[in-house]
Structure 1
Amino acid sequence: MTVNDDSFTNWKHREEIAESMIPIIGKLHRERDVTVLLHSRSLVNKSVVSILKTHRFARQIAGQELSITETLPFLQALTTLDLGPSQIDLALLAEAYKADDRGLTVEQFTAEAVAGAIGANKAERSEGRDVVLYGFGRIGRLVARLLIEKSGSGNGLRLRAIVVRGGGDQDLVKRASLLRRDSIHGQFQGTITVDEANSTIVANGNEIKVIYANDPSEVDYTAYGIKDAILVDNTGKWRDREGLSKHLRPGIDKVVLTAPGKGDVPNIVHGVNHDTIKPDEQILSCASCTTNAIVPPLKAMADEYGVVRGHVETVHSFTNDQNLLDNYHKADRRGRSAPLNMVITETGAASAVAKALPDLKAPITGSSIRVPVPDVSIAILSLRLGRETTRDEVLDHLRDVSLHSPLKRQIDFTTAPDAVSMDFVGSRHASIVDAGATKVDGDNAILYLWYDNEFGYSCQVIRVVQYVSGVEYPTYPVPVA
């Protein structure tokens, strides 16, 4: 047998194992509200090849490939337990088990590691929470995809309606088509049908009412059977408390804005300050994509080294706010053709840091350049630290944060020397540390942070919605604080 034959035989064997994992992962999700993760990446509804690639990707963050033969026994052990709603990371289980020297079996160790999700300790299954999307643009459609993806168990967030302005003939069909196919993010994973008679889009069995209105005051959501819903405003038209309060109509309990809030509206970056949301708070903001990208690594650096001052320069993909060709725009430069120019513009991300990290007294400045790419941006975070350090120490710290800390869903880490922006389309993290580009000299550090300003940000929005809805379940093993 040749070496190539050996490699192919090994691949086929790993394919077989991945195939055996899929029904286990699906059953745990549907019947028990358990989401199986691998280094914070969900394995629910993933293909054989996707599961294998996720295992191999561990090289980029943990330094070595994770074998599927290592994780399968832990997945099998989960099926023997009386699990409640939770998220369980197989990679962290396998890693912790290797470091444990007590001689426990996989079954014993797994039961101990996820004890908080077993038997009398397990969380109650949620009855679900209605969600309404106000606006159906780039972020609205991605949030819709994520809500539909996460509705598999039937006990989480339920997308009940979207509110849009009337668009003329074939409006419903065209909006469904934009949900079904996306030039950047690809095909919708599932089936979509349109019921024009009832103004409804049915996506993977989720009946989504399309409500036409020009103003929030025109809608009574209880007329559609919607109650205690969380409304996600994707329009950015209203950004202060007075304007967003217009959404607090019959059937709506809370309003979440997908843009920086103004005035006393809390700006929330999940993973950093979501636990400061007051239970009775009805209006909050998820800040901007760039704020979500820089605040988690900024916190990670401040906690470990201290930060004296900083500057963030974002090289940002163009957005719908810009013009395809030169035309009038109320901003100074954004009227110039987005696909043809680099456009210097302002960013509110630096000033928004103060809202998300009020204990950080260091001044943070910022600016932005819009460039001719449709998605994925990079934030260059230049920091004066509170003490001297080395490049290796900083990278080890950020790698550890991405794997084991409460910020592991926000911060990802890559050592790929050939990575470029399109490689991060579809990333679910708020930002990805590019290890190869990182620069450290004494008390100065420069971090290069990739982020999918559409999809990664939408994932952060969903996490905030899950938190305020009460359907964000605990993760095991518990991350180290």
Structure 2
Amino acid sequence: MTLNDDSFTNWKNREEIAESMIPMIGKLHRERDVTVLLHSRSLVNKSVVSILKTHRFARQIAGEELSVTETLPFLEALTTLDLGPSQIDIGMLAATYRADDRGLSVLEFTAEAVAGATGANKIDRREPRDVVLYGFGRIGRLVARLLIEKSGSGNGLRLRAVVVRGGGDQDLVKRASLLRRDSVHGQFQGTITVDETNNKIIANGNEITVIYANSPAEVDYTAYGIRDAILIDNTGKWRDREGLSQHLRPGIDKVVLTAPGKGDVPNIVHGVNHDTIKPDEQILSCASCTTNAIVPPLKAMHDEYGVLRGHVETVHSFTNDQNLLDNYHKADRRGRSAPLNMVITETGAASAVAKALPDLKAPITGSSIRVPVPDVSIAILSLRLGRETTREEVLDHLREVSLTSPLKRQIDFTTAPDAVSMDFIGSRHASIIDAGATKVDGDNAILYLWYDNEFGYSCQVVRVVQHVSGVEYPTYPATSV
């Protein structure tokens, strides 16, 4: 047998193992509301090849590839335990078991590591919480995809309705088509049908009522059987408390804005300050995509080194706010053709840092350039640190943060020397640290942070909604604080 044959046989063996993992992952998710992760990446509803690629990606952050032969025993152990709703990272289980020298079996170690989610300690499964989308643009449709994806267990969040302004002929069919196919993010994973008689889009069994209204005041959500719902406003039309309060109609309990809030509206970056949300707070903002990209690594750097001042320059993909061709626009430069120009514009991300990180007293300035790509942006974060350090120390720290800290769902880490923006489409992290581009000189550090300003941000929005709805389940093994 040649070396080539050995490699192929090894691949087929790993395919077989990954195939055996799929029903176990699915059953844990459907029957116990357990989401199986691998280094913060969900394995639910993933194909054989996707599972293998996720294992291979571990080498980017952990330094070596993780094999399905290593993680399978931990997954098998999970199926024997009396688990409650939770998220369990089998990649972290494998890594921490490797470092454990007590001689425990895989089952013994796993049972100990996830003890908080078993037996008398497990939390009850939550009743489904209704969600309404006000607006159905780029972010609205991606949030819809995520909510539909996460409804597989029948618990958690349930997308009940979408509110849009009335359209012309075939309006419902066209909106369903935009949800079904996306030029950037690809096809919807599942089936979508349209019930024009009842004004519904049915996606993977989820019946979503499309409500036509020109203002929040026109809608009584209880008329559609919606109760105690969280409304996600992704229009950006209203950003202060007074404007957003218009959404607090019958059937709506809380309002979440997918844009920076103004005035006293809390700006929340999940992973950084989501635990400051007051239980009785009815209106909050998820800040901007750029704020979500820079605040987690900024916190990671400030916690370790102290930050005296900083500047962020974002090279941002164009958005719907710009024109395809030169035309009138209320902003001077944004009227110029987005696909043909680099456009200097402002960003509120730097000023929003103070709301998300009030303990950071360092001045942070910022500016932005819109460039001719449809998605994925990069933030160049230049920092003056409180002490001198080295590039190696900074990279080791950020790699560890991306693997084991409470920020591991927000911060990703790549060492790929050939990475470009398209490689990060579909990333579920708020930002991805490019190790190869990182520069450190004494007390000066420059971080290059990729971020999918559409999908990664939408994931952060859903995390905030999960948190305020009470369906954000704990993750095991527990991360260090």
What TM-score do you get using the length of structure 2 for normalisation? 1.00
Deviation digits for residues 420-473 of structure 1 (CA, Å, limit 9, x no counterpart): 000000000000000000000000000000000000000000000000000000
1:33 is displaced (CA, Å) by: 0.2
Deviation digits for residues 327-359 of structure 1 (CA, Å, limit 9, x no counterpart): 010011000000000000000000000000000
Is 1:131 the equivalent of 2:138? no
Q: How does 1:23-422 map to 2 (within 5 A)?
A: 23-422=23-422
Question: Which runs of 4 or more aligned residues in structure 1 lie more than 3 Å from their structure 2 counterparts after TM superposition?
Answer: none
1:186 is displaced (CA, Å) by: 0.1
CA distance in 1, matches of 2:219, 2:406: 39
1:69 is displaced (CA, Å) by: 0.3
CA distance in 1, matches of 2:471, 2:11: 38
1:175 is displaced (CA, Å) by: 0.1
1:271 is displaced (CA, Å) by: 0.0
CA distance in 1, matches of 2:91, 2:390: 28
Q: In structure 2, what is the equivalent of residue 453 of structure 1?
A: 453
Deviation digits for residues 206-237 of structure 1 (CA, Å, limit 9, x no counterpart): 00000000000000000000000000000000
1:7 is displaced (CA, Å) by: 0.1
1:382 is displaced (CA, Å) by: 0.1
CA distance in 1, matches of 2:124, 2:248: 28
1:92 is displaced (CA, Å) by: 0.4
Q: In structure 1, what is the equivalent of residue 21 of structure 2?
A: 21
CA distance in 1, matches of 2:178, 2:320: 15
CA distance in 1, matches of 2:67, 2:397: 24
1:129 is displaced (CA, Å) by: 0.1
CA distance in 1, matches of 2:285, 2:356: 11
CA distance in 2, matches of 1:62, 1:123: 31
Deviation digits for residues 375-414 of structure 1 (CA, Å, limit 9, x no counterpart): 0000000000000000000000000000000000000000
CA distance in 1, matches of 2:209, 2:82: 37
The percentage of counterpart residues that share the same residue type is 91
Aligned residues: 481
Structure 1: 5+ residue runs without aligned partners?
none
| SS of structure 2 residue aligned to 1:334 | helix
CA distance in 2, matches of 1:221, 1:437: 49
1:371 is displaced (CA, Å) by: 0.1
Deviation digits for residues 274-301 of structure 1 (CA, Å, limit 9, x no counterpart): 0000000000000000000000000000
CA distance in 2, matches of 1:141, 1:98: 41
CA distance in 1, matches of 2:78, 2:124: 18
| SS of structure 2 residue aligned to 1:238 | coil
CA distance in 1, matches of 2:329, 2:161: 32
1:172 is displaced (CA, Å) by: 0.1
CA distance in 2, matches of 1:422, 1:345: 23
Structure 2: 5+ residue runs without aligned partners?
none
Deviation digits for residues 152-180 of structure 1 (CA, Å, limit 9, x no counterpart): 00011000000000111000000000000
CA distance in 2, matches of 1:123, 1:34: 12
1:56 is displaced (CA, Å) by: 0.2
CA distance in 2, matches of 1:112, 1:345: 52
CA distance in 2, matches of 1:307, 1:128: 42
| SS of structure 2 residue aligned to 1:87 | strand
Deviation digits for residues 43-96 of structure 1 (CA, Å, limit 9, x no counterpart): 000000000000000011101000110000000000110000000000100011
| SS of structure 1 residue aligned to 2:46 | coil
CA distance in 1, matches of 2:52, 2:96: 21
CA distance in 2, matches of 1:91, 1:159: 31
CA distance in 2, matches of 1:31, 1:68: 23
CA distance in 1, matches of 2:98, 2:2: 33
Deviation digits for residues 233-286 of structure 1 (CA, Å, limit 9, x no counterpart): 000000000000000000000000000000000000000000000000000000
| SS of structure 2 residue aligned to 1:197 | coil
1:194 is displaced (CA, Å) by: 0.1
1:128 is displaced (CA, Å) by: 1.0
